[in-house]
Structure 1
Amino acid sequence: MKNRSSRPWLAAALVLASCAGTKPAAPVATTAATPASAPTETYPKGVGLDMADIDRTVNPCDDFFQFSGGNWLRNNPVPSYASSWGPRNLLGNRTQDMLRKILEDAAANRNAAPGSNAQKVGDFYAAAMDTAAIDRAGIAPLKPELDRVGAVRDAAALRAEIIHLQDLGIGVFYRVGVDIDEKISTQYAVQLNQGGLTLPNREFYFKTDARSEKVKAAYRAYMQQVLELLGMPAPMAQLDAATVERIETRLAKASRTPVELRDPQTNYNKMTVAAAQKRYPALDPKGLLAGLQMGKAQEIIVGQPAFFDEVNAVLKTESIPDLKAYLRWHLLRSTASALPTPFAEAAFRFSQAQSGAKQQAVRWKRMQAVTDQTLGEAFGQLYVDQAFPPAAKARALEMVNNIKASMAEHIQTNTWMSAPTKAEALKKLAALRVKIGYPDVWKDYSTLKISRESYLKNLLAARQWENRREAAHLGQPIDRNEWGMTPPTINAYYNPVMNEMVFPAGYLQPPFFDPNADDAVNYGAIGGVMGHEMTHGFDDQGRQYDAEGNLRDWWTPQDAAEFTKRAAVVGRQYDAFSPLDSVHVNGQLTMGENLADFAGLTVVYGALQKQLQQRYGNGPRPKYDGFTPEQRYFLSWAQLRRTNIRPEALRQQIATDPHSPGQYRTIGPLMNMPQFQAAFGCKEGDKMIRKPADRAVIW
């Protein structure tokens, strides 16, 4: 989904490394290394954790990130085509191999029924992979769109062209779409939000440090290179690039920061279309809605009213030629991947400055990703048929139910929350919907025309189809069968306005979820993700939505103040983490994800204890690979987040990503958990252990 309400939160992944050929492990030591004289014992081998990845020269109570995966980190450098590398990438490669086979089979099938998913997926991928045809065609497929921009002569024609580009999924100046009304979750509403920038967010336009200046230099070079590829003389390309930067800087100055965008209340501003028309006449909201098939709307939700004041001013004060330069640039930027090779290479060089990747991923991987983004559920049906057994869904649901029961117990026994707030929290938890694997009702692509004629035409047609499908929701009942991710996605999310959490089939496979692994490993891996997504409903953002998904304050003032005080401790802890010189984690930007990690780990630990009690009663609990279930739980969580990342990508992540770097997602919650301290026999004074008075405790 497109707007802020769907919030598909990134969940990192755990890769399964084979234990074959490794020696049985000695019991874990809480000193730097197992003493040579320590007695050895033989333990049964476990599934899901690779003992060879553990660095036993590191004390787990000093640095659990390095202890749990230090050997893996040394042996798995970032490949040249990637900006970061973790177990999730390895699973991604395995999944991509399967998806490639599906796509190549579909592309080779010239006898697929016209209009079928197989025909559309096969033709889309075949056209995308035909680089010879793309290079031969040059910019001819885009020429009708470029000519439309070139034909603009006045303000009325400019507004019409903005509408047309929005219809094609090219977000010039702002983003507009139909999504659920966050304060009336039984209705859809038109929503306008800030946008229209090439750089990742407003901060990049104003920072003057060396790293930011390098990215801005790449941005300027990117624009000039692409405009020259279009056929512009170098001086004109340079002039147009400077014009685009000047207009985008105006938009950036009026934009809210990433932290400000996290406040759902201040980003919800409903007004009548008539009021919006009066406030933003140059924008012409009434004409915009009519042109995008949203004309029946009587109200709109404006995310950032001051930003749209500036858009209105830009449209009034900038010259038509300069505004055309801005539109032309975003048209080119949005379609670069579907243009001849030099355009795609220029786009990669710009992304390279941000990510640090040394070379571009091979084309089939890039086009597989675009096919998934564009025809995700048509493609996803072909994937699910091969990759997702029903037993996986049943086991996953069982785990979710156990974690829900643990969360309910944590709410009921909470010592700082009052009875009225607890009642509302339990009501919300009971109403939580869970989606596993794939949609119950698939998207109907029957009206979308896809052929092998042109990759670019297919891309624009699919974007327009999706925008119009979304617009058609207006005035209709809420479609609760919709998914914000495709089935092969190795990820999960919580959507507060639907009060639902979603786990695509791509996530529910080894090593994230392995039916052959012991409970501790599965609860630490996919269970940790489930707890994370579930407790997003109670993080600093999610707690503002009620059981029905309405943005409504259901907390007593005292409880809200207590929550805020406790969350602030988490924020301060993460502000102090510094992975690079002079670069600190932003505790406010990452607050929601950090709170979900804290709460999720605690809640799922409780669920694991219940599962172990049911399985073993008060009897002994088996060790695998020499580790107790509790130790394997924390190891599973940590190995899921081991990541090598390039410095450029790490800086970019800290500036833009609501998730903390993997090392701090590993150690941050554990430093506050007495359960971790007990599991590994840590003592106060160890680096992984905070003093009780300094610990963050939410649930």
Structure 2
Amino acid sequence: MEAEDKSGEQLRGQSSATGMGPSLSQESSAEEGLPPEWNRQRAMTRKVLIAILLFGLLLGSSLLWVYIFRNCGPRSCETPVCLDLLAHYLTSGNTSVAPCNDFFSFACEKTKGTSNSLRALAEENKSRLQRLLEAPGSWHPGFGEEKAFQFYNSCMDTDAIEAAGVGPIREVIEELGGWNISGNWTSLDFNRTLRLLMSQYGYFPFFRAYLQPHPVLPHTPVIQIDQPEFDIPLKQEHEQKIYAQIVREYLSYLNRLGTLLGGDPSKVQQHASLSISITSRLFQFLRPLEHHQTQDKLFHMVTIDQLQEMAPAIDWLSCLQATFTPMSLSPSQPLMVHDLDYLRNMSQLVEELLLSHRDFLQSHMILGLVGTLSPALDSKFQEARRELSQKLRELTERPPMPAHPQWMKCVEETGAFFEPTLAAMFVRDAFGLSTQSAAMKLFTEIKDALIARLKKLPWISEETRKEALKRVTQLQVEMGAPQWAWKSDMARQEYSDIQLGPSFLQSVLSCVRSLWARNIRSFLQPFPHHRWRVPPWEANAYYSIPDHVVVFPAGLLQPPFFHPEYPSAVNFGAAGVIMAHELLHIFYQFLLPGGCPACDTNALKEVLLCLERHYAALPLPSRASFNSSHTLLENAADVGGLAIAFQAYSKRLLQYHGETTLPSQGLSPQQLFFRSYAQVMCRELSTQDPQDTHSPPSLRVHGALSNTPAFARHFHCPRGTLLNPSIRCQLW
């Protein structure tokens, strides 16, 4: 014990000598020995220092966050194209509406009516073509391009069309043998007249005939025979009263046509009445599509010989040979027919009329031809046609058609007859290679997001998943325009078979024959690539099942849906969702009954039923109606397309910095994404076609957004609001 005490004293002495200072217990005891005032001052000083330190930390962190936000957060896009887009958004949408309750109105409602983005874009594309067609010195003399400009100018020369009056159409009637209503009439052979109407005027009074890809061999053409396109909107479901009113209006129109052509009013009345009777009887021969579906036979393959036996009034071989020259047809030529019963009954009616009312049959064909050619005639014929259209739309409770200015009608006509020329001009002016490259990059990111989702779908079996991934990787994409449209010589293509003048009507008829012949030649040539269904300036994407190709025309990839300088949120939310929607068309068969036998059918049925009920529960605008089962496939593509595009956009935000947003909108990039999606769907609610497989526009917005949890999160929607429901359905 003594040794320990001594060693302890030695250690304490060393400690004091080396300056290590007192131990904690000694220090505490020293503080306790200080006066109380010193202790209080010391504690106060310590608190002040701590407060200053905390304030400094808060101030520093705030400045750091401001720096990060200003330098790393979304910047305002101030480029001219962004400012134009901002102006577009400011004139479209009602921001006073709560977005969580009615995002369609928030994005689409204007002071007067509702914005229609697709129609506005289509009109802007036509306006661009107008500027190109009217630009001085923009065409090359001596080439086919010159004919396109000459045709457009002759269409715009309304003074010359008015001066020609009824002379040009009377010449056509005389070429067809005349008629009993006015002038001399030569009783020509019925099939000769029908042959002329079909081959020289592109008019089919009793049936339609056109080339289609073979249903089994898609690159082999086949002639398809269908019912005619009736000039009046008769339908089986029309009530007797409405049906009678439609017939009266059309009878009045035919009387007006006959009178304009110089016919005796009493004779005109008689011939017009029988023409209406012929149309009504032909209409009664039709069978609705559902009738063919119940028989599990949408079309029949027959030879020309077989059809000749079934419908002998028509000389099928001579009429079809004249129409489809240079095809070489024989009696054994296969045809695709949708409604054999209609053709049998039509033939019997023609035979009856040839025996008793041959002159009335001639008048029926000529009145129908004049009606179809009225856009190429003077204003009296055009006005008669316009008034008939308006009255028939009123009777069938369809919205009135907007009046189109002359330049727009002339652009449409020129585009129809000279598509190769206008396609090359449009692509060169509106969709350069850099824009095409940016669009392809966007499509690749959308496709990658789809592939990632396919790998995680719970209702797809491994076998089906492999098949689905294979279909995506083998898919072809055509962006902007067909390959030939990028070649400068296409704008100068020769149209040697087109003879313009002396009247505008004769120019139109020459163009009709040229276009028909070009279509036939295109079907006869080996064509390894996909044939576009729409011209490049159209705002309409589609997926072709036979060619397994998805098409995005240049006319769709324009502001306000796409521009390389836009914030990514806009391009992904608008064009990106459209791309994802079309990609999902590849898998429509999986969603049909029995279309995916290896899938978890119970899980698939459950989510499809959920989706159907979800849309059926959404509030509809007044006077709108739809069948949620009829629109189910398109609803699934809307919901899935939005989810895929948002996933691709979220990945873009993680990989790339420098995202921008629109100024003075107060929208985050994610909010701008959803705003851009809704902008695509903006359309007047009253324009919905009952046969449209898409839901009404407000439901296309609310249905997809309410099934997207990210929307409710980024717009801070309270639980239970329309766009933040308790139950969601996620198929893709």
With 218-227 and 387-396 compared, the bigger mean Cα shift is at 218-227
2:304 counterpart residue number: 273
Is the 1:207–1:213 Cα contact (8 Å) retained in structure 2?
no
Give the corresponding residue for 1:245.
276
**Of 643, 655, 659, which aligns to 2:683?**
643
Query: What is the identity, as a one-letter code, of the residue corresponding to 2:374?
Result: A
Residue identity opposite 1:249 in structure 2: S
Secondary structure of 1:300's counterpart equals: strand
Q: Any conservation in 2 of the 1:176–1:191 contact (CA below 8 Å)?
A: yes
2:379 to 322, 327, 341: 341
What residue is the counterpart of 1:369 in the other structure?
Answer: 412
Query: 1:118: Cα distance to partner?
Result: 2.3
What secondary structure does 1:654 align onto? coil
Q: Kindly provide the amino acid, as one letter, of the partner of residue 101 in structure 1.
A: R
* Residue in structure 1 matched with residue 103 of structure 2 by the alignment: 64
Residue 451 (1) aligns with residue 500 (2): yes
Shift of 1:395: 0.6
Q: Which of 525, 543, 546 in structure 2 is aligned with 1:494?
A: 543
Q: 2:347 is matched with which residue: 312, 320, 325?
A: 312
Alignment of 1:469 onto 2:518: yes
Q: Secondary structure at the match of 1:186?
A: coil
TM-fit CA distance, 1:266: 4.5
Q: Distance in 2 between matches of 1:242 and 1:572?
A: 49
- Alignment equivalent of 2:450, drawn from 397, 403, 407: 407
Residue 55 in structure 1 maps to residue 94 in structure 2: yes
Partners of 1:581 and 1:314 lie apart in 2 by 45
Tell me the secondary structure at the aligned position of residue 386 of structure 1: helix
Pair 1:682-2:707 in alignment: no
1:119 correspondence with 2:146 = yes
Question: Structure 2: how far apart are the matches of 1:151 and 1:509?
Answer: 50
The equivalent residue for 1:600 is 641
Aligned counterpart, 2:118 = 88
Aligned partner of residue 676 in structure 2, secondary structure: helix
1:330 maps onto 2:368 in alignment: yes
Which residue number corresponds to residue 163 of structure 2?
136
Q: 1: CA distance between counterparts of 2:335 and 2:547?
A: 20
Q: How much does 1:401 deviate? A: 1.5
Equivalence for 1:170:
203
The offset of 1:493, in angstroms, is: 2.4
Q: Map Cα deviations across residues 331-370 of structure 1 (whole Å, 9 max, x no partner).
A: 1121111001111111222333426548732211211121
Distance change >3 Å, CA 55–CA 506, structure 1 → 2: same
Give 3-state SS (helix, strand or coil) of 1:191's partner: strand
Which residue matches 1:3?
A: none
Greater shift in the superposed pair: 138-147 or 335-344: 138-147
1:200-599 map, 5 Å: 200=233, 202-203=234-235, 206-208=237-239, 218-255=249-286, 257=288, 266-292=297-323, 293=325, 294-296=327-329, 298-318=333-353, 319-353=357-391, 354=393, 356-357=399-400, 360-442=403-485, 444-473=493-522, 476-480=525-529, 482-539=531-588, 555-556=596-597, 583-587=624-628, 590-591=631-632, 593-599=634-640
Check whether the contact 1:585–1:654 (CA below 8 A) recurs between aligned residues: no
Is the alpha carbon distance of 1:391 and 1:231 closer, same or farther for their aligned partners in structure 2, counting shifts above 3 Å? same
In 2, the alpha carbon distance for the partners of 1:602 and 1:256 equals 41
404 and 161 in structure 1: CA distance in 2 versus 1, 3 angstrom threshold: farther
In structure 2, what is the Cα distance between the partners aligned to 1:224 and 1:537?
50
Distance 1:176 1:262 in 2: 22
Task: Name the SS of the counterpart of 1:539 in structure 2.
Answer: helix
* 1:119 to 1:508, Cα distance in 2 relative to 1, 3 A: same
CA 1:463 to 1:590, structure 2 compared with 1: closer, same or farther past 3 Å?
farther
Structure 2 distance, partners of 1:55, 1:643, is 14
Q: Residues of 1 paired with 2:611 and 2:192: CA distance?
A: 48
Compute the TM-score of the two structures, normalised by the length of structure 1.
0.79
Kindly provide the amino acid, as one letter, of the partner of residue 543 in structure 2. Y
Query: For the residues of structure 1 that align with 2:386 and 2:259, how far apart are their CA atoms?
Result: 16
Question: Residue 560 and residue 105 in structure 1: after superposition, are their counterparts in 2 closer, same or farther (change >3 A)?
Answer: farther
Indicate how the Cα distance of structure 1 residues 64 and 578 shifts in structure 2: closer, same or farther if over 3 A, else same: closer
Q: Which residue of 2 aligns with 1:631?
A: 671
Contact 1:621 / 1:628 at 8 angstroms: preserved in 2? no
SS in 2 for 1:196: coil
Task: State which of 606, 615, 638 in structure 1 corresponds to 2:656.
Answer: 615
Amino acid at match of 1:173: F
Per the TM alignment, residue 44 of structure 1 is displaced from its structure 2 partner at its CA by 4.4
SS of 1:67's equivalent? helix
Q: Does 1:191 align with 2:232?
A: no
Unaligned runs of 5+ in 1: 1-41, 79-84, 545-552
Q: Distance in 1 between matches of 2:228 and 2:154?
A: 30
- Mark the CA change 1:60 to 1:227 in structure 2 (over 3 Å): closer, same or farther: same
CA deviation vs aligned residue, 1:451-490 (integer Å, no higher than 9, x gap): 2432212222222222222223455423525322222223
Aligned Cα root-mean-square deviation (Å): 3.8
- TM-superposed CA distance for 1:137, in Å, is 1.6
Judged with a 3 Å threshold, the aligned counterparts in structure 2 of structure 1 residues 270 and 513 are, in CA distance, closer, same or farther, namely same
Q: Distance in 2 between matches of 1:377 and 1:632?
A: 37
Contact 1:599 1:698 in 2 (8 A): yes
Instruction: Write the distance in 1 (CA, Å) between the matches of 2:344 and 2:610.
Output: 37
How far 1:398 moved relative to its partner? 1.0
**Comparing both structures, which one devotes a greater share of its residues to helix?**
2
Amino acid across the alignment from 1:178: L
Aligned pair in 2 of structure 1 residues 277, 574: CA closer, same or farther (>3 Å)? farther
Q: In structure 2, what is the Cα distance between the partners aligned to 1:574 and 1:242?
A: 47
CA distance, structure 1, for counterparts of residue 670 and residue 254 of structure 2 = 53
Match of 2:190 in 1: 158
5+ long unaligned stretches in structure 2: 1-72, 180-184
Question: Structure 1 residues 105, 258: closer, same or farther in 2, change over 3 A?
Answer: farther
1:38-84 Cα deviation digits (max 9, x unpaired) = xxxx98435445357443432222111012233xx22x548xxxxxx
Q: Which has the larger radius of gyration?
A: 2
Closer, same or farther: CA 208–176 of 1 in aligned 2, 3 Å: same
Q: What residue in structure 2 maps to residue 34 of structure 1?
A: none
Contact 2:178 2:186 in 1 (8 A): no
Q: Which amino acid aligns with 2:424?
A: Q
Alpha-carbon spacing, 1:307–1:64, altered in 2? closer, same or farther (3 Å): farther
CA distance in 2, matches of 1:231, 1:610: 70
Q: CA deviation at 1:610?
A: 2.5
The separation in 1 between residues aligned to 2:617 and 2:272, in whole angstroms, is 39
Q: Secondary structure at 2:495's aligned position in 1?
A: coil
Using CA pairs under 8 Å that are at least 6 residues apart, name the structure with larger relative contact order, 1 or 2: 1
Deviations 1:183-240 (A, max 9, x none): 212322222223331135x52x641398887766544433332232222334444444
Seen in structure 2, the aligned counterparts of structure 1 residues 476 and 213 have a Cα distance that, compared at 3 Å, is same
| Distance (whole Å) between structure 1 residues aligned to residue 186 and residue 731 of structure 2 | 57
Identity %: 25
Distance change (3 Å), C-alpha of 1:65 and 1:105: same
In structure 2, the residue corresponding to 1:178 is in which secondary structure? strand
Q: 2:705 aligns with which of 670, 676, 679?
A: 670
Partner letter of residue 653 of structure 2?
L
Partner of 1:18: none
1:22-33 matches, within 5 Å, as none
Count of aligned residue pairs for this structure pair: 627
* C-alpha deviation, 1:620, in angstroms: 11
For the residues of structure 2 that align with 1:564 and 1:235, how far apart are their CA atoms? 64
Counterpart contact for 1:574–1:586, Cα < 8 Å: no
